[in-house]
Amino acid sequence: MRPEIRTLAWCLAGIFACGTPATDSPSTGSFPASAGVKADAPTVILISIDTLRADRLGCYGCPAPTSPTVDRFREEAVLFEWAIAQAPSTLPSHATMLTSLLPENHGAFFSRRTALPPSLPTLATVMMAAGYRTAAFTGGGQIAPEFGLDRGFEIYGVNQGGADFQAAVETGLEWLARDLGRPSFLFLHTYEVHHPYEPDSELLAIFEDGYDGVLPPWISKEDLERINRGEIAINDRDLDHIIAAYDAEIRSVDEAFAVLLAGLEELDLADDALIIFTSDHGEELGEHGVVGWHSHTLYDELLRVPLVIRFPQGRHAGTTVGAQVRLLDLAPTVLGEVGLEVPAEFEGVDLARVLTGLPTPLPAVSQLDLPLGENQVSLRTARWKLYPRAAFAGDPFADGSPPLAVRGRNLVKRWRRPFALFDLLVDPEETGDVVGAHEGVSEALRQTLSSLRKRRSKPPAAPTVTVFATTEEWLRSLGYVE
């Protein structure tokens, strides 16, 4: 991150430390208190690096030196090769992490300006009711308190100014140190990897040896919009420069992660802690025609996320899980590890069961964040992706609507065959629709999808969110508001 922004980050550390803005009176909702946890229950740290692709980390096969700390951390942890997000956008994906519900079942959508209904239990409300102290230090934006994700957190710190991850890490460590006698749940989130890509020049130099193309050193939201609208023509060298800037932001986060791990060692919390490193969604880097954007497709570059979990005492250290899992499974995994009952509302499974040989496959349902009445949902298994044809037309940079006749033909095609089918075994790039050759597979997946979506009733409608002015400004800088 640029030096002037880092200075702002350190100035805002005091805001983080005070926990403001935060919930004035943290609530566990209307749920009864859970059985108390033991005094030696593990510290739980959930880290979400917004917009981080799995395949840009060394431990997931990236050849660039983006993540030396995460790669070392992986040696003491479990790496899940195929963790799938339930939405390619920030609010519904994080809401799924904290509620273990599919987006249409928790109802939190940014496009609809709807928050989590107060009747739903969350990971934080359950842990707080059981005696955990709870705090979150986040980048705000789509997970600002207005959207309901602050419930159950005694402190919900928000930095609307774009501070780097290290500011949140430093403040999180300060908070942990205040009361080491009680078990703690800490949630850390950052937009540092999200566009705009503005890494320190020293970090950028790690990933490219000079660049003299048409793009500036730092890649702004406006640059990406002009590229995706075709106003700036880029070649492979220019794309490599964009990826280098993205990778340098990852390296900055990795260095802050090193500070977090060292701080946990100093506080004597590392050995007994449950540490989860993940992301809410990925980023497009040209695979399907768009660069530096997300939220409008359901392809794997947006849905596959890193998931590395270090269990207390390093249990299962070095294990690699090749089976598909979901962000839906995070909350049950945490509660299972700390010995708390999983609410009946949660839809995911404890991933400890996967480690011990859970035979049931974990199909992943994912949904676009669209206005009310528009439901575009995919289903992914280890081999197949059932993909809504309507999402093919989801280019946010398209210049106007197609002619009426074209739209009519597309509607007829989608009515006849609402889903495409990708064979991920032979077509991991998701470029060829094979539904015609595998009608039986497609129909079976459609039935599975229908069954999974009907498993729970829809949540009660939540009031429309009124976004604060500071949140609105920050959302605009991130590209979420025109």
Task: Per-residue pLDDT tens, the chain, 482 aa: give them.
Answer: 544 443 333 334 444 333 333 443 344 444 444 467 887 899 999 999 999 999 999 999 999 999 999 999 999 999 999 999 999 999 999 999 999 999 999 999 999 999 999 999 999 999 999 999 999 999 999 999 999 999 999 999 998 656 689 999 999 999 999 999 899 999 999 999 999 999 999 999 999 988 999 999 999 999 999 999 999 999 999 999 999 999 999 999 999 999 999 999 999 999 999 999 999 999 999 999 999 999 899 999 999 999 999 999 999 999 999 999 999 999 999 999 999 999 999 999 999 999 988 776 789 999 999 988 788 999 999 999 999 998 775 566 666 555 555 455 555 455 567 999 999 999 999 999 999 999 999 999 999 999 888 777 777 777 688 777 888 887 788 777 76
User: Is 386 part of any domain?
Assistant: no
Q: What is the DSSP string of 377-418?
A: EEEE-SSEEEEEGGGGG--TT--SPPPHHHHHHHHHHHHH--
Which residue type is seen at 432? G
Q: Output the domain CATH number for residue 19.
A: 3.40.720.10
What is the C-alpha to C-alpha distance for residues 273 and 270, in angstroms, rounded to an integer?
A: 5
| 415, part of any domain | no
- The SS3 call for residue 141 is helix
Is residue 446 a part of any domain in this protein? no
Cβ count within 10 A of residue 408: 11
Outline where 100-218 has alpha helix (H).
103-106, 123-129, 165-178, 201-207
- Give the separation between CA 117 and CA 30, rounded to whole angstroms: 12
* Domain annotation covers residue 371: no
For 141: left if phi > 0, alpha if psi spans -120 to 50, otherwise beta; the answer is left
Query: Looking at residue 399, what is its pLDDT?
Result: 60
Let me know if residue 407 belongs to a domain.
no
Mapped onto helix, strand or coil, the DSSP state of residue 288 is coil
**Helix or strand (DSSP H, E) at 324:** strand 320-326
**Euclidean distance between CA atoms 129 and 471, whole angstroms:** 29
Residue 436 in domain? no
Q: How many other CB atoms are there within 10 angstroms of residue 318's CB atom?
A: 11
Read off the tokens for 246. 């993205």
CA torsion sign for 220, 224, 227, 230 is negative
- Predicted pLDDT of residue 405: 53
d(CA 432, CA 92): 28
Contact 92, 369 (CB under 8 A): yes
CA distances from 338 to 312, 331, 350 (A): 10, 11, 12
The β-bridge partners of 444 are none
Per the structure, the count of domains in the chain is 1
Range of the domain at 50: 3-364+470-477
Closest Cα to residue 52, out of 359, 257, 213?
Answer: 257
Question: Which run of H or of E encompasses 184?
Answer: strand 184-190
Distances (CA, A) of 386 to 371, 395, 412, 449: 22, 19, 19, 9
DSSP3 helix / strand / coil % (the chain, rounded to 5): 40, 15, 45
Residue 227 within any structural domain of the chain: yes
Q: Please indicate, yes or no, if residue 37 is contained in any of the structural domains.
A: yes
Strands 304-305 and 78-84: antiparallel
pLDDT at position 2 is 45
Count of Cβ atoms closer than 10 Å to residue 443 Cβ: 12
Maximal CA-CA distance, the chain: 68
